[in-house]
Structure formats: structure tokens, C-alpha cells
Amino acid sequence: MKQSITNSTLNRIAFIGNYLPRQCGIAAFTTDLCEAIALQYSETSCIALPINDVATGYAYPPRVRFELTEKDIDSYLRASDFLNINNVDLVCLQFEYGIFGGRAGSHILALLRGLRMPIVTTLHTILKNPDPDQRRVLEEVAALSDRLIVMSERGSEFLHDVYNVSLEKVDMIPHGIPDVPFVDPSFNKDLFGVEGKIVLLSFGLLSPNKGIETVISALPKIIASYPDIVYIVVGATHPHIIQQDGESYRLSLQWLAQQKGVESNVIFYNRFVSLNALVEFISAADIYITPYLNEAQIASGTLAYTLGAGKAIISTPYWYAQEILSDGRGVLVPFHDPETLAEQVINLLDNEAQRHAMRKRAYIFGRAMIWSEVAQRYMESFERARLERRHYIPPGFIAKALDKSTGELPPLKLDHLQNMTDETGIFQHALFTVPNYSHGYTTDDNARALLVSILLDELGSSENLGLASRYLAFLGFAFNDQTKRFRNFMNYQRNWLEESGSDDSHGRALLALGTVLNHSNAPALNSMAGWLFEQTLPAILLTTSPRAWAFALIGIYEYSQKYAGDRRANTVQDELAGRLLTLYQNNSSEEWRWYEKTLSYCNAALPHALLTCGKSIPNRDMTDAGLESLKWLSDLQHSREGHFVPIGSKGFYPKGGERTRFDQQPVEAQAMVSACLEAYRITGDKLWEKESRCAFEWFLGYNDLNLPIYDPTTGGCRDGLHPDRANENQGAESTLAFLQSLLELRLAKQTHLSMEALLK
């Protein structure tokens, strides 16, 4: 048996569709669904985005957070941006052609295309014979949606047979209804002054397709058998009909009643009634009638409401009625047939036992349709969409891998790097793209930034020197002369929060300093970097983090490219490389070729370090171990579709345990790019060049969610990949991970082209 969801992992859900007090069935449905989920899942925040068909809008409740203008496509684009920056976990769209602007409601596509979270769409209309525009719009809505919800089995059939939608993507959830008691119709008749009368009822927004004239035409024959009949028609004329034709349809019905001599038996209640008032009207009805004029109706809220209230129902055989009134839950009569309709009304009134048995069957069937049950079913669909999001890539929106494109790398954009940097250094975190002062600065990030600024210098960027000087100054300020270690955390007021930073921050600082000494041609930078490197190198031997050792080893390798005769640096390199190799030998096995019992963060840095040591010491065992472990890691971090899937940070991957898929971090892709480029330089095997590109493409959208992590509009990088969306904050670590990867690939390409020119 399927477990019901009592707690949700979704923090915020946005509902797009008309919303009360706008007068239409979609508005009532969206409001009821949103409120039912908000009531049942109090830990989940529900917001609504309605579509306005009038310039003045409506007096919406506080749950409405953003209003769209039906015919203004820019408002749809703004709504997409609004949802993306407001930490919305999932969007639930109510799709009906007529409520959105554009041909066949196509404006909604502009909104959906820009969303970065799962989309679950309820289809209120599914046409059996769509025109080309209707087909195109629904097919793209289906493609952009993670799951589709229909309210009838016929809807599922149409999606599969007409629109070629896989049924695995479709959930059948009934139309929700209020939870009302099973009461005798006489109980509420006095509320409407019809006590002692037999009440026939139709309700809903009035329009010519509702077929009310069929019932009025049937009344003379019914009244001949039951003179105390009254027919109540509840509902205002549809606002769009009012705009086009005024009240001409209602007036034609009144004239028809006069023509038939039944005007004293017909009551028009010309208002859009509240749910509570509607329930009272339904409860007073002896027979409910839906005389719609054609079959193309895939759902009907009015029919669902009356079925759930346990009413005797007579309906024309539109699609939804055929399905929901089967098994004796109602009576079907032909379209445009007053004679048969009258006969069936008289038959039900003549056979009280049959009528009450029908009522009971309807009420029991409707218990699965009350809003509390429907809310649970919707939440199950939402959770399924979130879980499956990483496995589903909408057709036509697949990121193009670099080896299938021109091979061009994205243009270099430093706007966000500069935005995140002040006169002190680079800020640690951002709220979206805005620096977050409350988290201050770290040596970790300023070391990364220093490395990136030096790579910029090597590529000829004129903006690097000032940045490099600032980041190097930060490292100089972070150095604690008493401990010979770097402090790491500094608040915005420039107060250090510790005397010694983490092992990893010390290793990263050495990596950055070694890169300065190998690649910079600025004497002032080299002098400062050389002094800091000499002062802080011995302390790395006192650390216990294998990743700190790896960062330091890569830094020592960079340093040794110019200062190979430094015996102390060589001694530290030998010691740390020996530790890493021993770890690998002690922990690796046929099925687990790794240095530790857990794969955690910046994993590729470990084989990268051994590869540099194997080349510079030299030591063949280190080279072999580095290549073997990197190949194992590379194979492990490939999806079946071929894209890069780093170890997730929400639990990592313990040996013999369950691998965590998310949250995926940009530093994992950067570490893999750097390590694979080193393997390519050592072996000349193009496999490693391809692997470096594969890891880099993760930033560009070739990943589990087919979402770009790099933001080309800012030059920043989002802080990782969640199960259903990218983290929209663009912090220093993520942005620098992207920039380092891009710059290293550019340098590799530049070196390759230079070598080709020499060989010609």
C-alpha cells in the first residue's frame, strides 16, 4: 500500500492560475487547491500567481504574491524571474487555453521556459481534435512539465494517443470537492423559500454552451407530473460573455421560460456565490442537472461538487460525465433532448428508492475526492516530480556538449568577481548576486582568488594586477607570526575570529603562493609571496588533512618549476607525497581505488597531487596511483547519459554505503578539470582532455538537471545543484571554481595551439 505523505520536503510551492475573487471555475479550483495544501502541510509555504484579465486586477488575499497581465508577455517573463529568485521549490500550473495570452495561451510558455524548478501542470482542457496552435502549446507545456495531472482516465488516453505523452509522466487525481455531510434535501430548502418544493438545480457561470434551455424546454412535461417543481439556476453570467454580448443569453432563457409558460417555476440567482452558499444550494437540490451541449469537456467542477454531496444527477454524456457517473452514480441523457431529459427526471422522482441508492453510491465514490485527500495526492505528485527532476530532460532543451559544438569556451566575464571584492579582499558569500557582509571573508577564498588573478595575468588580462595585490595582501594579513599559520575567518569589521585557520585553508594558501611564484612576472608580488611561502611551508607538516597535503603539494610543484633546488621544499614534498601514497596503498582495493574510506569533497585534488609528485620527484608508483585513482573517480562520476555527476555534499559516499547524489558543488567540477588537465599533460592521452571538458560542461548545464550553474549575465557561478534546482546564491567559492576551470582550459588550449605552431 502506498504511504501517504504527512511531511513535505518542499518549503515553498507557487500556484499559477486564476484566483478568487476573480469569477471563474479555474480561480475557484486554484484557490481551493492552494488552501487545501497550505492547511494540510503547515510547514510548506504556498503562494499564488494569478492572471488578470482586467487592468484593475482584483482584491486578492495576501497569499497572492505576484500578478500577471493576461496579454502582456513581459509580465510572464517577470513572473519567471520572480519565481527563480524567491526560493520556490516547485511550481503548480493550472493550464487552460483561455486564461493566458497569445495564440492558444502561448504566453505561458515564456514563463515556463525560464523556470529552474520542477513544474507540475494540471490540465483542465485536453482537446481530442486540437488545431495546430492548440496542439503546439499543449505539447510544449507537457514537455516543460515534470509531471502532468489529469482529472479523468479519458484525459490520460488523449495525452497518450493524441499528444504522444508517456503515461509514466501522468498522474490521475480527481477534481477536489468540499467535505460536506450526506443530508436530506429538505433540510436547507427554507433558506431559499422553496420548502415543500421539488428542487432541480444547475449552477456555474452562465454561457451559451451550458444548455440551460434544454432543461427549461423539458419543464412543461415535468410540471405536468410534478406541479411543485422549481428549477434554480445559480451563477452569474461569465464575465467574458458579459463583455461580448451583455446579458443576452440570460434574457433569452427568461424569454424561453415565458414562452413555455414555466416562468413561475424558474429562479435565476444571478450572482457568483461563495463556496459556503454554493454548498447550501447543492444541499437543497433533489436532482442536479448538467445539460452541457457537447462532449468536449474533460472535467467539471460543478459535477464533481454535486456528486460529492450525494445528489441524484442527470447529465448529458460529455466525457467527464460519462466517466464519473458510471456504475449507477447518475443518469445520462442525449444532447439537445428535452423529451428524454423530462422522462428521466420523472422516472427518478417516481422511484424514490432508486434515487436514494444513486445518491449513496455517488457520496461514497466522492469521499476520495474531498480536498484533504486530493491535497495528499497532489503532494505525492509534487514529491515525485522533485525526485525525478534529475532524470528527466525536456526534449529540445538539452545542453550541447562541447565536443559536439564548436569547442569554443564561454567568454571571460569578471563583473561578479569585482562585485564580490572590496578593498579588503573577496567576500565569502552572496545573497543571490549581492555580497553578504554578515559572513565576512576567508583566507580560503582569497587564496582561490589570488590563484585566479595570476591565471588572468598569464592570459594577458590587464585587470589582474590590482586584484592579485589585494588578495595577496589579505594572505599577508592572515599570516600569524606566532603560530606560522594562516588565520581563516575574518568578519566584516576586519576582526579575525581565530588564531589558526583550518588545515585546508593553510594548504590552499600554499597552493596560491606557489602559483604566484611560478607564473607571476611582478617582482613585488613574487617577493611577498616568496616570504609568505617560506614562513608557512613547514607548518603544513603538522596538519592531518589529506586534502591540505594535496593542495600544498600542488603548490610546491608550482614553486619547484622555478625553484627546483630548494631542499626544504623538496623535503616537505617527499614527506607529504609519501603520506598520500601510503594512504592509497592502505585503503585501496579492486573495487575501491581510493585514499580514504569515504569520498568527500575536492576529491580529484588527491590524485592530482600524486600526479605532480610522480612527475617532479620522480616516482612511478605515485604516477600510477594518481592515474589509477583518477580513472576510478572519473568512471564513478559519470551518469549513464555521459555527463559529470560529482559526489554530493549531503552525506558524501562512504565505502560500502549509499552514495549521495546532491548537493553537487562547483569545487568538485573544478578539482576534476584541474586533475584531468594534469593527467593529459603527463600522458598525452586525449581521454583526459575529454574528461576535463566533461567536468567543465557541468557548469554550462550538461548535468543531472540540465540547468546552467554558470550565470553568463553576471560572470558568477551558482552555489551548487540541489535535487530540483540550482542554488541561486553566487558565492566566492563557486564563482572562483568556474573561473579557475575556464582559465585553466584556456591556458591548455593556448599551449596546445602554440605547440602545433612550433611543429609546423
pLDDT tens per residue, range 542-571: 999 999 999 999 999 999 998 888 899 999
Taking each helix axis from N to C end, the angle separating 301-308 and 275-283, rounded to the nearest 10 degrees, works out to 60
Say if CB 321 and CB 330 are below 8 A apart. Answer: yes
Of 403, 510, 421, the closest CA to residue 464 belongs to 421
For residue 190, say if its preceding peptide bond is cis, omega within 30 degrees of 0.
Answer: no
Residue 245 belongs to what H/E stretch?
Answer: helix 239-245
Q: Which of 593, 716, 738 is nearest to 655 (CA)?
A: 593
Q: Which three cell numbers stand for residue 77?
A: 517573463
Cis, peptide link before residue 21, omega less than 30° from 0: yes
Asked if 138 contacts 155 with a C-beta cutoff of 8 angstroms, the reply is no
| Domain at 185-369: CATH architecture | 3-Layer(aba) Sandwich (3.40)
The end-to-end CA distance of the chain, in Å, is 71
pLDDT of residue 407: 52
In this structure, are residues 48 and 195 in contact, taking their beta carbons and an 8 Å threshold? no
Domain ranges of the chain: 12-176+373-391, 185-369, 410-759
CA–CA separation, 452 vs 641, rounded Å? 32
Which amino acid type is present at position 180?
V
Asked if residue 618 has a cis previous peptide bond (ω within 30° of 0), the answer is yes
C-alpha cell at 164: 504522444
Give pLDDT, residue 661.
87
Spell out the residues 6+ positions from residue 385 whose beta carbon is closer than 8 angstroms to its own.
Answer: 90, 118, 119, 120, 146, 147, 724
CA pair distance 289, 300, nearest whole angstrom: 12
Residue 298 and residue 150 in contact, taking contact as beta carbons nearer than 8 Å? yes
Beta bridge partners of 193: none
Residue for cell digits 596546445? Answer: 752
In this structure, are strands 312-315 and 331-332 parallel, antiparallel, or unpaired? parallel
Query: Do 12-176+373-391 and 185-369 fold alike per CATH?
Result: yes
Specify whether the CB–CB gap between 592 and 655 falls below 8 A: yes
Third-level CATH fold of 12-176+373-391: Rossmann fold (3.40.50)
DSSP state of 312: E
β strands within 244-391, DSSP E: 266-269, 287-290, 312-315, 331-332
CA distance 659 to 428: 28
Q: 494 Cβ partners below 8 Å, 6+ apart?
A: 424
Residue 195 to residue 215: CA distance in whole angstroms: 21
Angle among Cα 106, 110, 116 to the nearest 5 degrees reads 135
**What's the pLDDT score for residue 390?**
47
Are the C-beta atoms of 136 and 102 separated by less than 8 Å?
A: no
Q: Please state, in angstroms and rounded to a whole number, the distance separating the CA atoms of residues 35 and 29.
A: 10
Q: Which residues of the chain have a pLDDT value below 70? A: 1-7, 390-408, 461-464, 751-760
What's the angle, vertex CA 695, arms to CA 436 and CA 601, rounded to 5? 55
- Write down the pLDDT at residue 7: 67
Question: Cα separation of 578 and 609, whole Å?
Answer: 11
Distance CA 600, CA 671 (A): 12
CATH architecture of the domain covering 410-759: Alpha/alpha barrel (1.50)
Contacts of 372 (CB under 8 A, 6+ apart): 36, 40, 179
224: number of Cβ within 10 Å: 11
Question: What are the grid coordinates assigned to 106, written together?
Answer: 502561448
**Coil, helix or strand for 130?**
coil
Q: ∠ CA 747-749-752 to the nearest 5 degrees?
A: 110
What pLDDT, on a 0 to 100 scale, did the predictor assign at position 562?
Answer: 87
State the Cα angle at 446 between 445 and 451, rounded to 5°. Answer: 100
| pTM score | 0.59
Question: What would the grid cell of residue 225 be?
Answer: 407530473
What is the per-residue pLDDT for 536?
96
Longest dimension (CA), the chain: 115
**Coil, helix or strand for 49?**
strand
- Pull the grid cell for residue 662: 546532491
The candidate with the shortest Cα–Cα distance to 94, out of 163, 149, 39, is 149
